[in-house]
A and B are shown apart, each in its own frame.
Chain A
Amino acid sequence: MMENKDILVDVQGLTHQFPMGKKKSIKAVHHVSFQIRRDEIFSLVGESGSGKSTVARCLMNIYEPTEGTIRYDGINLCDKKEREQHKTRLQRERQIIFQDSASALNQRMKTKDIVAEPLRIQHIFSEKEELDQYVRQQLEMVGLEENYLNRRPSELSGGQRQRIAIARAFGMKPRLLVADEPIASLDVSIQAQVIKLFQHLQEEHDCAILFIAHDLSMVRYLSDRVGVMCKGHLVEMGETEKIFQNPLHSYTKSLLSAIPVPDPALEKKRSSVTYDAASIWNTGIMVEAEEGHWVMQEEADHENLI
């Protein structure tokens, strides 16, 4: 297991239910447990509706989990009192980037004010000049020049807006960054630009990133460890290369076989594996198949473990 002092986020048995009417409810996340180290990029992958975003939102206290605990650097995020006690610190150190930057950014604010807003709220700079200087620096770092300072989000392209969201998040020097599908709405060449930016900033600031994406090749390129989610369950978790080279859960296998590979000779030979997700509704437990590589085993086939 990991050293305790290395762990920034510790999620244990996280369950989140959405109410559906008065009597029914739907479980979006089922008993999910994982940890994120201080300097790693951890990715969650899975199809839409698998609960990845719900986990991310629980981590940011946007949703209140139904069951389970989330500890951020020892602080129990599910406890209101404890959260209130560390409010300033939590707001400063945790940042999130959403998929659709067009709706995440305030349309009426100028670029520089969007980036400056969280800094101003936290009183990080006492002098206005200092703040301006810093904002300019941040925008420069994400590749936006001076002439973008006074523009509004509607005047910018999707790639540029996403850069502003990134500049705003990284400007706070977060220790945990949650990026919920930050590149899904971007073009291929712009995606590469944004991912390079992520890598660069992560190395410089030395923070932990929870990266959520459905583009698995990008996940493989970027992240240190991966968790695979299906219908609210975390079915497999481990180091990126281990998961991609030796997937154990049949859902992971089917997901990996479905990504089209940009190589026509290879792609035309491949066949995809199908997986019936219906069986996943039964609860299973996580079993360590090899060191650091966990896979969910359904209770029925406990005896025939690997």
Chain B
Amino acid sequence: MNKQYALEINNLSVSFFTADGETEAVRDVSLSLRQGEVLALVGESGCGKSVFCKAIMGLLSKDARIKSGEILKDDRDIRTLSEREMQLLRGSGISMIFQDPLTSLNPTMTIGRQIAEAVKLHNRELNRQQIKAKVLELLELVGIPDAESRYDSYPYHFSGGMRQRCVMAIALAADPQILIADEPTTALDVTIQAEILNLLKEIQKKRNMSILFVTHDLGVVAKIADRVAVMYAGKIVEYGMAEEIFYDARHPYTWGLLSALPYYARAKGELQAIPGFPPHLTPPPKGDAFAVRNPYAMEIDYEEMPPFFPVSETHFAATWLLDEHAPEVVSPFREISKRRCGA
């Protein structure tokens, strides 16, 4: 295992077994999280990003199964850990925050006690005063003013942004090396979102944490991510440094996502929508799942899954357009973004 990786995921496949048959939610995904980086996982709802995160945390529901692949943390496959070992890993090794802070918090417990619970679990030797001191320290870390008086507040006393800060305090209670953030700011207002993102970035730098940040908002990605992976229909279709994805995307789906942003379409009528809807994954379509919505699709796209083609040392895209036999296609997005940046 490479030392620079905090988490290495190889060929992970997760399926749901339902009455309608097998739904392949995550299909053969390999993704590695480097030490101290923010990796954004981008995709539309239903593309499998949340299932992917839950698989890493060992939180899959009963009808889901990891079919193949390995999740390596410190040279050990997480899948081989017992539930007890897994519990120790959750929180201290890998922590997770979810989209809706209200459902992650217990409405009948004070904020202070909920954070103390997480602190206690991972630091058995601490006495009551020490725990309280640690909780107050955490509350300060996540930017809750006047922590002492907030200790005895209930979740309903707090606004959405404050609740998300409390959830962050719980997630950070045991100094995790890796934080998985599943759409943590989607439910918040833009001004609150900006505060939470700045805070997350600040804490990440301070503690040299690795963050896997799941979102569908490309603006948020641009703000926070060092690297970006784009997911579609259960597969990663393109990954690279943030600049490479935003300025030099190679996969038609990434072009589509970027062109669908009103930011790049100033004149009326310039907004480009991706036609059609994402495919069903019970069972997934043959070949490239994006082919039916892809104006550049070739015959081979309907037949065979494209492998990853290297664009640079850090940038890879899974599209047949990068094959040497493919016709030359210029990204339609490049023109738009050039004009935008020139303006």
Quick one: given A47-B189, A196-B271, A199-B269, are A265 and B243 in contact (CB under 8 Å)? yes
Which residues on the B side are within 8 Å of A12 (C-beta)?
Answer: none
B219 contacts the other chain (CB 8 A)? yes
Which residues on the A side are within 8 Å of B277 (C-beta)?
Answer: 157, 159-160, 190
Which residues on the B side are within 8 Å of A263 (C-beta)?
Answer: 222, 246, 263, 341
Quick one: given A189-B44, A262-B221, are A47 and B190 in contact (CB under 8 Å)? yes
B194 contacts the other chain (CB 8 A)? yes
B274 contacts the other chain (CB 8 A)? yes
Which residues on the B side are within 8 Å of A257 (C-beta)?
Answer: 194
> Who on chain B is nearest to A160 by CB?
B277
- Tell me if B262 and A264 are in contact (CB < 8 A): no
A246 contacts the other chain (CB 8 A)? no
| Least CB distance, B272 to chain A, in whole angstroms | 7
A268 to B38, CA, bound (A): 14
Which residues on the A side are within 8 Å of B266 (C-beta)?
Answer: 221
- Tell me if B260 and A192 are in contact (CB < 8 A): yes
Quick one: given A189-B256, A192-B273, A255-B190, are A262 and B44 in contact (CB under 8 Å)? no
Within 8 A of A (CB), among B187-203: 189-191, 193-194, 197-198
A228 to B262, CA, bound (A): 19
A298 to B223, CA, bound (A): 34
> Who on chain B is nearest to A195 by CB?
B271
Which of A28-36, A53-61, A71-79, A212-220 makes up part of the contact surface?
A: A212-220
A272 to B272, CA, bound (A): 29
> Who on chain A is nearest to B293 by CB?
A189
Q: Tell me which of B198, B262, B274 contacts A189 (CB under 8 A).
A: B274
Quick one: given A189-B273, A195-B271, A221-B262, are A258 and B190 in contact (CB under 8 Å)? yes
Which residues on the B side are within 8 Å of A191 (C-beta)?
Answer: 260
Which residues on the B side are within 8 Å of A214 (C-beta)?
Answer: 189-190
- Tell me if B44 and A260 are in contact (CB < 8 A): no
- Tell me if B222 and A262 are in contact (CB < 8 A): yes
B257 contacts the other chain (CB 8 A)? yes
A189 to B274, CA, bound (A): 6
- Tell me if B219 and A261 are in contact (CB < 8 A): yes
- Tell me if B191 and A192 are in contact (CB < 8 A): no
Interface string of B43-59 (1 = CB under 8 A from A): 01100000000000000
Quick one: given A261-B222, A262-B221, are A196 and B273 in contact (CB under 8 Å)? yes
Quick one: given A214-B190, A216-B190, A272-B194, are A189 and B222 in contact (CB under 8 Å)? no
Interface string of B258-276 (1 = CB under 8 A from A): 1011111110110111110
A265 to B262, CA, bound (A): 18
A216 to B263, CA, bound (A): 9
A259 to B185, CA, bound (A): 12
A219 to B242, CA, bound (A): 26
- Tell me if B194 and A217 are in contact (CB < 8 A): no
A133 to B243, CA, bound (A): 50
A187 contacts the other chain (CB 8 A)? yes
B137 contacts the other chain (CB 8 A)? no
B29 contacts the other chain (CB 8 A)? no
- Tell me if B193 and A188 are in contact (CB < 8 A): no
A117 to B257, CA, bound (A): 36
- Tell me if B274 and A192 are in contact (CB < 8 A): yes
A261 to B264, CA, bound (A): 10
A254 to B217, CA, bound (A): 20
> Who on chain B is nearest to A224 by CB?
B268
A214 to B222, CA, bound (A): 19
A83 to B286, CA, bound (A): 58
Quick one: given A221-B266, A221-B271, A267-B222, are A262 and B261 in contact (CB under 8 Å)? yes
| Least CB distance, A51 to chain B, in whole angstroms | 14
Which residues on the B side are within 8 Å of A199 (C-beta)?
Answer: 268-269
Which residues on the B side are within 8 Å of A157 (C-beta)?
Answer: 277
A263 to B223, CA, bound (A): 8
Which residues on the A side are within 8 Å of B193 (C-beta)?
Answer: 258, 260
Q: Tell me which of B219, B257, B271 contacts A259 (CB under 8 A).
A: B219
Which residues on the B side are within 8 Å of A193 (C-beta)?
Answer: 273-275
A220 to B198, CA, bound (A): 25
> Who on chain B is nearest to A256 by CB?
B190
B220 contacts the other chain (CB 8 A)? yes
Q: Tell me which of B197, B220, B271 contacts A192 (CB under 8 A).
A: B271
**Contacts beyond the supplied A214-B190, A272-B194: 16 A-B pairs with Cβ under 8 Å:** A188-B257, A189-B44, A189-B256, A192-B271, A192-B273, A199-B269, A217-B262, A258-B193, A260-B190, A260-B222, A261-B219, A261-B263, A262-B263, A264-B246, A274-B191, A275-B191
27 of the cross-chain contacts (CB-CB < 8 Å) are: A157-B277, A160-B277, A187-B45, A189-B44, A189-B256, A189-B260, A192-B261, A192-B262, A195-B262, A216-B190, A217-B263, A218-B262, A221-B262, A221-B265, A221-B271, A259-B190, A259-B219, A260-B193, A260-B219, A260-B223, A261-B223, A263-B341, A264-B225, A266-B222, A268-B223, A274-B191, A275-B191
CB-CB nearest 9 A-B residue pairs: A260-B219, A221-B262, A192-B273, A192-B260, A189-B274, A193-B273, A187-B44, A262-B218, A267-B222
